[in-house]
Structure 1
Amino acid sequence: MKPLLLLDVDGVLNPMGRPTPGFRRYNCTIGAVVYTVHLNPRHGRRLLDLAISTGSELVWATTWEHHANEWIAPRIGLPPLPVIPLSPDPPSEFGEMFKTPHVAAFAGRRPFVWFDDQVWAEDEEYLRVHQGLTDFLLIHVDPARGLTSRHLGMAHEWLTLTGFSQGP
C-alpha cells in the first residue's frame, strides 16, 4: 500500500501572509466568486520529487476539492490528483477539524502524511483514539508562511525512517 501525501491549499500552498519571492498571484473564478491565490510553481516539482522518492501518492485534502485540479495543480506543475470529498458534516464531537473524519475514511489503513494549517492535537487524538489509526504524520503548516523545505523534509524523514517509503 502506497503511503499518501495529503495536501491542503489555503494556508499551505496559498499562504495567508505576505508571499515571499517566488510566489505568483492568480485570480481563480469558481462560479461567481473570484479568489486571489499566491502560488509558488516550485512547490509542484518538490512535491512530485517527494512522492517519487518515497513511493507515495499525492492527494488533495482541501475545501477546493476538484477545483484544485483545475486551478491549483496546473499553476504549480502537478498532474490531476485524487480528491478527498468533503461533505458538510455536523460539528465535531471530539474537537477535531471537519476534514479529519473524511481523511480517516479515505486513508483507511494506508499510512499518510497530512500537510494542513488546521491540524492540531485534537485531530491526532481523533485519528488514534476514535479511528484506531497509528501510521500517520500530521504536519502543521504556519498559514502565514505556507509550505517550506522543513515540512517536506519532515515528511521525507518520517516516511523513510518508519519504513513506509516505497521509493527507489
Structure 2
Amino acid sequence: MKPLLLIDVDGVLNPMGRPTADFRRYRCTIGNEVYTVHLNPRHGHRLIELALATGSELVWATTWEHHANDWIAPRIGLPSLPVIHMSPDEPSEHGEMFKTPHVAAYAGRRPFVWFDDQVWAEDEEYLRVRQGLRDFLLIHVDPREGLTSRHLGMAHQWLTLTGFSQGP
C-alpha cells in the first residue's frame, strides 16, 4: 500500500500572511463566492517530486474538496487528485479538528503524512488513541508562511527512515 501525502490548501498552499514574491495572486469564483488565493507555482512540482521519491499518493485533505482540483491544482501544476470529503458540521468529540475523523476514515491503515495548519496534539491523540493508528506524521504548517522546503524535507525523511517509502 502506498503511503499518502495529505494536503490542505488554506494556510498550507495559500498562506494567510503576506506572500513572498514566488506567489501569484488568483481570484477564484465558487458559486456566488469569490476567493483570493496566493499560490506558489513551484509547490506542485515539489509535491510531485516528493510523491515520486517516496512512492506516495497525493490526496487533497481540504474543505476546498473537489474545487481544489478545479482551482488550485492547475495553477500549481498538479494533476487532479483524490479528495477526502469533509463535513465541517460534525462536532469534535475529543478536541480534534473536524477534518481528523475524515482523514482517519480515508487513510485506514495506510501510512500518511498530513500537511495542515490546524493539526495539533489533540489530533495526534485522536488518531493514535481513538483510532489506533500508528503510522502517520502530522506536519503543522505555519499559516502565515505556508508550505516550505523544511516541511517537505520532514515528510521525505519520515517516509524513508520509517521504511514506508516505496520510491526508487
TM-score by length of structure 1 reads 0.99
Which residue pairs with 2:41 in the alignment? 41
**Whole-Å Cα distance in 2 between the matches of residues 137 and 89 of structure 1?**
25
1:94 aligned partner: 94
Following TM superposition, the consecutive aligned residue runs of length 4 or more in structure 1 with deviations greater than 4 angstroms are: none
Q: Which amino acid aligns with 1:128?
A: R
Residue 50 of structure 1 corresponds to 50
User: How many angstroms does 1:21 deviate by?
Assistant: 1.2
Q: Which residue of 1 aligns with 2:75?
A: 75
Which deviations, in whole Å up to 9, do the C-alpha atoms of 1:34-84 show, x marking residues without a partner? 000000000000000000000000000000000000000000000000000
- Mapped to 1, the partners of 2:157 and 2:124 lie a distance apart of 19
Partner SS for 1:152: helix
- Structure 2: runs of 5 or more not aligned: none
Task: Give the letter for the 1:107 counterpart.
Answer: A
Which is worse superposed, 86-95 or 24-33? Answer: 86-95
Q: Which residue is 1:153 aligned to? A: 153
Question: Aligned pair 1:132/2:135, yes or no?
Answer: no
1-structure distance, mates of 2:28, 2:92: 30
SS of structure 1 residue aligned to 2:6: strand
Unaligned runs of 5+ in 1: none
Alignment partners' CA distance in 2, 1:85 and 1:79: 18
Contact 2:88 2:99 in 1 (8 A): no
Whole-angstrom distance in 1 between the partners of 2:115 and 2:103: 12
CA-to-partner distance for each residue in 1:1-21, whole Å, 9 max, x for gaps?
000000000000000000011
Shift of 1:95: 0.2
Note the alpha carbon deviations across 1:96-144, whole angstroms, 9 max, x for none.
Answer: 0000000000000000000000000000000000000000000000000
Structure 2 residue aligned with 1:27 = 27
Q: Contact 2:114 / 2:137 at 8 angstroms: preserved in 1?
A: yes
| C-alpha contact (below 8 Å) 2:96/2:126 kept by paired residues | yes
CA displacement 1:141-167 (0-9 Å, x = unmatched): 000000000000000000000000000
Shift of 1:30: 0.1
**Deviation of the 1:93 alpha carbon:** 1.0
Residue 108 of structure 2: aligned partner = 108
TM-score, scaled relative to structure 2: 0.99
Distance 2:24 2:157 in 1: 29
Which secondary structure state, in structure 1, belongs to the residue aligned with residue 165 of structure 2? coil
Deviation at 1:90, TM superposition (A): 2.8
Q: 1:136 and 1:76 mapped to 2: Cα distance?
A: 25
RMSD: 0.5
